[in-house]
Chains A and B, each alone.
Chain A
Amino acid sequence: MAKDKIAKPEELADGINYTPPKKDWFDPKVEFVRGRYNYASTPSGLEYLGLPNPRKWQPDQEDWKLPKDWQKIVLKGFKERLAKFRSFKIFMDICVRCGACADKCHFFLGSGDPKNMPVLRAELLRSVYRNDFTAFGRVLGKLAGGRELTVDVLKEWFYYFYQCTECRRCSVFCPYGIDTAEITMMARELLSLIGCTIDWITTPLANCYRTGNHLGIQPHGFKDSIEFALDDLYDLTGLKIEAPINKKGAEILFIVPSADYFANPHYFGFLGYLALFHEIGLDYTFSTYASEGGNFGLFHSHDMAKRLNAKMYAEAKRLKVKWLLGGECGHMWRVVHQYMDTMNGPADFLEEPISPITGTKFENAKSTKMVHICEFTSDLIYHNKIKLDPNRNNHWRVTFHDSCNPARGMGLLEEPRYILRSVCNNFYEMPEDTIREKTFCCGSGAGLGTDENLEMRLRGGFPRANAVKYVHDKHDVNLLTCICAIDKATLPALMDYWVPGVEVGAIHELVGNALVMEGEKRDTDFRGNRFIGPPEAQPKEGKENV
């Protein structure tokens, strides 16, 4: 494992230096250091999806086996995108290099590598833009900040655009809203035109395209996982619970990221959903064909995002449901909130979502017809439709990590907090500069959450971890909650490294713990921890909510 070779936390932090070198940044040579980049796409996934230039190669090799006319392909793609995306064109043109974004990126803060300053990340592309698409650049070349697109520049693109998690934190601080995530998306599209993509993105893509989910779980496997979860729930609560799959005519199609039913600690949140829906008697169904909420297409290209996302509406139509409900997942919600309706709508065959339990009309989702589980659950709680015993989460001292996409690509900030305050007694916010719209990324989003990239992930996650450490030291926080599948998959390693003693959990895990179900018999949470009861019964005081 790559992990063995990574320095101790203090040493790693000691090595971070925010002062850039004296020499200018124009030299594109990058060194592919193990632990800081992702492996290249294997040919099979690309072939299955019909994507360009499938071949065996690795980024640290000299020869990337590019097509002969790769430069032409990339520049042509560049030009096309400048004509198709106003965002791209404007962002290429108006940066004043004020530097406001420079120290806002977690990768810069965790690595000190100046090309991880969002402004410079964008300049990697912008320098080529100036050289090939502006009058000044064509005449003055380097003097106007232009660079020719060489193999080294291309390799530098690959290195740094797969060192951006498309988290959009920079865009919050930029006076013009320049969103480096958008620039990264363009760069990745250009790279994918000549087959320079990473395997952790394209293999899940191929899986998802074929089987309906990133993990490649086939329909019967999906059913097995659900049944497994129902058995677990039976053991935990003594209740026989059902969860329909591919059921036609159900009211709601429920879609979750596949990790929810296959990975820890997501799984405990999944149990939470199942318990909740059982308790309120929701008429819903899962789908095997649309068994993935996440969409790694977003990390590859707009077209791939659309190709995968199409399944949601297609399946909703086939199953004749009324509307869609979506689980806890970050980039899934970026796609659902900002792209789905535009890409694959209009969803005129669905109905405007109304909660069958409270009668609440989800006005904000009336066109897309998909509701976030936190909107749904907080509405239930607000209307007192479920019985909650927050004391059952007294063994947790909780903080909440805003996942980038729901925070900055949607504005879902209060709903999860409202739920948390209702289901647990000990909730503490991290420092203001690190939450809500200013939240720090887990460092592993946008397809970068691989083992081979672990050092870079730990660096990128450093600002987040450091804020967790603050509440861990101050309030004994021992549970980091979040509403994103990538967070749940990658934050545990981050915590182990920087803040041992903090576990990671879903919001709906705590909901499930606190949920008082009719006829249940249970004295442990979903992880098997005994409920410790109300504060009087505890050795420690601690009900100061923040």
Chain B
Amino acid sequence: MSIFYSLLAITVLILIPIVGVGGLGWRYLFGVIIPYAAFGLFIIGIIYRILLWAKVPVPFKITTTCGQQKSLPWIKNSKLEAPPNSFWTAMRMSSEVLFFRSLFRNSKAQLKPGPKLVYGSGILLWLGAICFHYSFLVILIRHFRFFIGPTSKFIEIVSGLDSFFQIGLPILYITDLVILIALTYLLLRRFLSPQLKYISLAADYFPLFLLLCIALSGTTMRYFTRIDIVAVKELGMGLAGFHPVIPDNLSLMFFIHIFLVSSLIAYFPFSKLMHMGGIFLSPTRNMANDNRKRRHINPWNPKVEVHTYEEYEDEFREVMKNAGLPLEKEE
């Protein structure tokens, strides 16, 4: 059911520019207004969400320790997994953000006759996730050439590396291939693994479908229908410089592509894609394991009712006296 609705949503998203541009010729709307609106929503949405999170206090330091604490000087502290201070906490965060450290631990449990539980490798998910995210990043960086004037050195280097193998014409970008494979894998595991299928919601299929359609429309333009790059640059730089123009020779496929991208960025702040921001704020990962060394303050530390020693002694004075236990008050 969730798969069906996600597919339906994607189909509608593809049909909109087909009707809007192909049928009605609203090129300015789809080339300029919608991208601007989506980008605005993206920026405002992200800021709003982050502020919403940041506003909520962190009452306790609940670091999840994944290694040896710093205690006695002769015991080796696992600094990355149980960070003793903010520097190592930053390192731990970097390992999560850059290398998906925790996902790297992934294993797969299997119950064999015996009964015997064995834990096989679950590294494929990590690999798929890394491949997808880094391809996405590289592709994103490469796209900047459409928005800034003379291409920067950095973008050139990235693009150069990405087309390292120099195969095909136009030359194949490795990430184009990798992202398609990775996304297909991420999608297939949701279809094929019964456990994943069970936990997946429409909100899980939809972004994958959307990203896959974006990648497919993009690669189609580059490798098959051969988009006019000069025209795209004209549009991109116009948008970036706030004097938008709509060149004539942009294909329908291009409008589908940027409408889907607009949908993605508009959807981003209100979806699980916000994990990009959330990962930085996750309290089990972004605090040091120095609880007993540095006191953490809870801004709303409540006053609670306690059972005081005096009340306790009042209740048990008699038996304490008989047992010869010392008392505060004899009476």
Contacts and interface: CB of A to CB of B under 8 A. Distances in A.
Nearest to B82: A411
Contacts of A82: 56
Given A171-B284, A219-B325, A338-B61, A18 B111 contact: yes
B213 to A, nearest CB: 19
Interface of B is mostly: loop
Contacts of A247: 326
A315 B195 CA distance: 50
Contacts of B103: 98, 100, 173, 175
A143 interface: yes
Interface string A366-406: 11111000010011001000000000000000000000000
Interface in A345-360: 345-346, 360
A243 to B, nearest CB: 13
Interface in A279-327: 288-289, 302-303, 306-307, 310-311, 314-315, 318
Interface string A199-221: 00000000001111000001110
A471 interface: no
A50 B278 contact: no
B321 to A, nearest CB: 9
A157 to B, nearest CB: 18
B102 interface: yes
A410 interface: yes
A382 B74 contact: yes
Contacts of B10: none
B5 interface: yes
Contacts of A97: 196, 199-201, 204, 272
A306 B301 CA distance: 10
B117 A463 contact: yes
A58 B20 CA distance: 60
A349 B210 CA distance: 60
Interface in B259-300: 270, 272, 274-275, 278-279, 281-285, 289-298, 300
Interface in A406-425: 407-415, 418
Contact of A90 (B1, B53, B102, B309): B53
A120 interface: yes
B297 A342 contact: yes
Contacts of A544: none
A219 B66 contact: no
Nearest to A306: B304
B58 interface: yes
A94 B193 contact: no
Interface string B300-313: 11101111110011
A343 B1 CA distance: 47
Interface string B316-331: 1001101111101000
A200 B168 CA distance: 69
B304 A412 contact: no
A242 B76 CA distance: 36
Contacts of A382: 72, 74
A156 to B, nearest CB: 16
A375 B69 CA distance: 11
Given A16-B111, A370-B292, A466-B115, A172 B304 contact: no
A5 interface: no
A94 B278 contact: yes
Contact of A96 (B60, B204, B296): B204
B293 A363 contact: yes
A437 B274 contact: no
Contacts of A119: 199
Contacts of A523: none
Interface string A87-119: 101110111111110111000010000100101
B147 to A, nearest CB: 29
B285 A364 contact: no
B57 A123 contact: no
Nearest to A174: B102
B219 interface: no
A343 B301 CA distance: 7
B51 interface: no
Contacts of A438: 105
B281 A86 contact: yes
B13 interface: no
A382 B289 CA distance: 24
A318 B311 CA distance: 14
B178 interface: no
A135 interface: yes
B111 A172 contact: no
Given A18-B111, A411-B65, A135 B198 contact: no
Interface in A7-27: 9-10, 13-14, 16, 18-21, 24-25
Given A18-B111, A306-B302, A367-B293, A415 B75 contact: yes
Contact of B65 (A104, A109, A176, A437): A437
A501 interface: no
B301 to A, nearest CB: 7
B202 A144 contact: yes
Given A363-B293, A382-B74, A117 B278 contact: no
A411 B262 CA distance: 45
Contacts of B284: 87, 171, 177-179, 182
A364 B293 contact: yes
Nearest to B189: A99
Contact of A367 (B204, B294, B307): B294
A342 B119 CA distance: 38
A223 B323 contact: yes
A93 B328 CA distance: 52
A365 interface: yes
9 contacts: A16-B111, A86-B283, A97-B272, A104-B107, A176-B282, A318-B328, A342-B60, A418-B75, A437-B67
Given A220-B319, A245-B325, A318-B309, 16 more contacts: A13-B114, A25-B199, A86-B57, A86-B281, A90-B278, A97-B199, A173-B103, A182-B284, A211-B312, A212-B312, A303-B302, A307-B305, A314-B309, A342-B297, A379-B72, A462-B117
Interface of B: 1-2, 5, 49, 52-53, 56-72, 74-76, 78, 81-82, 96, 100, 102-103, 105-109, 111, 114-117, 119, 122, 125, 129, 189, 193-204, 270, 272, 274-275, 278-279, 281-285, 289-298, 300-302, 304-309, 312-313, 315-316, 319-320, 322-326, 328
